[in-house]
Amino acid sequence: MDAVLQYLQTNQQTALDELFEFLSIPSVSADSAFQPEMQRCAEFVRNAMTKAGLTAEIIPTKGHPIVYGERIEDPSLPTVLVYGHYDVQPPDPLNLWTTPPFEPQIRDGKIFARGATDDKGQLFTHLKSIQAWTETTGKLPVNVKFLIEGEEEVGSDNLEHFLQAHKERLKADVAVISDTSQYGDGIPAITYGLRGIIAAEVRLTGPSKDLHSGIYGGSIANPANAVAKLCGALVGDDGRVQIPGFYDDVAELSAMEKQQFADLPFSETGFLNEIGSGALFGEEGFTTLERRWARPTCDINGIFGGYTGEGPKTIVPSKATAKITCRLVPGQNPEKIMDSLKSFLQERCPPGVKFEFQSFHGCEAFAFDPTSPWITAASEAVETAFGKAPVFIREGGSIPVVSSFQQILGIDTLLLGWGRNTDNLHSPDEHFYVKDFHNGILASTHLWPKLAAVEA
Ligand code: BES
Ligand code: ZN
């Protein structure tokens, strides 16, 4: 172990340099203009796997390629499946970045770049720790399989098929993902639950072209007014989602879990300051952590149509669109919620307005037993590296593969987040603390022998 730790020390700068190279590739999965970059990024990941001592290959899918690598040390050892995603969210709005999103730079101890924390920087820690083990000891304490995909930020549509098709090959005892966050400054966390999601878009079309609102306004339905009405009906003033049946299957929090949430350090003013918001709002009768981690929601992600340029323009627009997501909790079925969302909107669409609904993706929520021996082993590794025992938390974001791992491969996932929720994920000036990057590599290095010792 000493030699491995020494290797990490000696190679800190190299690891950073390589991460910079990774971050310089604009692997934006949502935008087809970046397709060649996705391929280039997959090649980078494959090469990094080979360097780490894995046998690696790029596997094409209907969408962006999957990179798969493995190293089977000894069939009698436990096998760990590591997942990550090399795709990133679009960097827009570009003018709000201090330095360009794909030209990584370190300022104030933080690496700034799109994907720095979500998820390139975090997934890279596992490749670097594996490399440290193989280069110093020539072997690994466990068998590892790495599955790094390029479509997480767009819903992982082709992944389920891949998991079904390669079920035998992907067989493992437990999965590891670093794509979540620490609980707070100096408080590492292991996440045992995430919310699920459905994502959809509603497109309304009125007249065949934009019309003069003085000549025609008031005599036909305006699709922008209509989209506002549809969207406005989704959430009540009490914070409750109004879609019929939305709460029918929601698993309520146990008194014990409510207590565990309440025991975590949390300041409402600190939280509001962090996000630059003036007041809390949410479902009545629940605390902020409960609302964020264990209650379902409905959010409009974008609403547009008609004239959005500078100054006034007097029209009845031809078209208006809204993008909508619901976060789901254990018990809720994504298909069922998608169907009720669609009917809810359709029923409110005025006559003369064409209604089109596109569902993008969906995945279920989950919550694991936080007392499993895998979690205890991971907790020890995190404590050794970060100097503090992790707290056990749930999170409100979604990682679609986790419930698929559970359903298709029958394994639980250890969600070990090295980043922070304040790292500006999906926002301008995304960053990752250099310190969190190195501690992540260290925790990952300690993780493998800890997992090897678990009596499964
Ligand atoms: N890394 C996030 C998920 C996350 C972040 C979970 C912080 C918990 C804490 C992930 O890359 C992500 O953003 N996922 C999407 C999934 C969706 C597009 C299916 C999400 O949650 O919006
Ligand atoms: Zn992510």
* pLDDT, tens digit (0-9, with 9 covering 90-100), for 43-62: 999 999 999 999 999 999 99
Catalytic residue flag (residue 152): yes
Percent of the chain with pLDDT over 90: 98
Instruction: Supply the DSSP symbol for 405.
Output: I
- The pLDDT score that the predictor gives to residue 129 is 98
pTM of the model: 0.94
Question: Which whole number is the average pLDDT over 318-347?
Answer: 98
**Cα 138 to middle of ligand 2, angstroms:** 31
List, for residues 61-108, the tens digit of each pLDDT value. 999 999 999 999 999 999 999 999 999 999 999 999 999 999 999 999
Place of tokens 């305006």: 222
CA angle in degrees (0–180, nearest 5) for 447-400-35: 100
Burial 244-260 (b: 16+ CB within 10 A, else e): eebbeebeebeeebbeb
**Cα 424 to middle of ligand 1, angstroms:** 12
Which amino acid residue places its CA nearest to atom 1 of ligand 1? 179
Domain(s) of CATH 3.30.70.360: residues in the chain: 196-284+294-361
Out of 302-306, 319-323, 452-456, which region has the weakest mean confidence (pLDDT)?
Answer: 452-456
Residue in 178, 194, 146 with CA at minimum distance from that of residue 419: 178
List, for residues 140-173, the tens digit of each pLDDT value. 999 999 999 999 999 898 999 999 999 999 999 9
Tell me the CATH number for domain 196-284+294-361: 3.30.70.360
Query: What is d(CA 97, CA 115) in angstroms, rounded to the nearest whole number?
Result: 13
Q: Is the pLDDT of residue 455 over 90?
A: no
- The pLDDT score that the predictor gives to residue 326 is 98
Catalytic residue flag (residue 179): no
What's the whole-number average pLDDT of the chain?
Answer: 97
Strand partners, 203: 321, 356
Cβ neighbours of residue 253 under 8 Å, at least 6 residues apart? 261, 290, 294
Q: Which of 87, 118, 151, 153 is catalytic?
A: 87
- The pLDDT score that the predictor gives to residue 131 is 98
Q: Is the pLDDT of residue 340 over 80?
A: yes
Q: Do 82 and 146 touch, CB atoms closer than 8 A?
A: yes
Report the pocket of ligand 1 as residue ranges, CB < 6 Å.
Answer: 118-119, 152-153, 155, 179-181, 194, 197, 361, 395, 397-400, 425
HSE of 52, CA atoms in CB hemisphere, 13 A: 28
Q: Which of 70, 118, 149, 152 is catalytic?
A: 152
Residue in 20, 164, 47, 34 with CA at minimum distance from that of residue 87: 34
Q: Is the pLDDT of residue 456 over 90?
A: no
Question: Which whole number is the average pLDDT over 391-396?
Answer: 98
Residue in 51, 87, 92, 86 with CA at minimum distance from that of residue 69: 51
Tell me the CATH number for domain 2-194+365-452: 3.40.630.10
- The pLDDT score that the predictor gives to residue 451 is 98
pLDDT band, very low/low/confident/very high, at 380 (cuts 50, 70, 90): very high
Q: Which amino acid is residue 92, in one-letter code?
A: D
- The pLDDT score that the predictor gives to residue 288 is 98
Q: Is the pLDDT of residue 227 over 80?
A: yes
Structure-derived torsion over alpha carbons of residues 6, 12, 15, 18, reported in degrees to the nearest 10? -140
Domain(s) of CATH 3.40.630.10: residues in the chain: 2-194+365-452
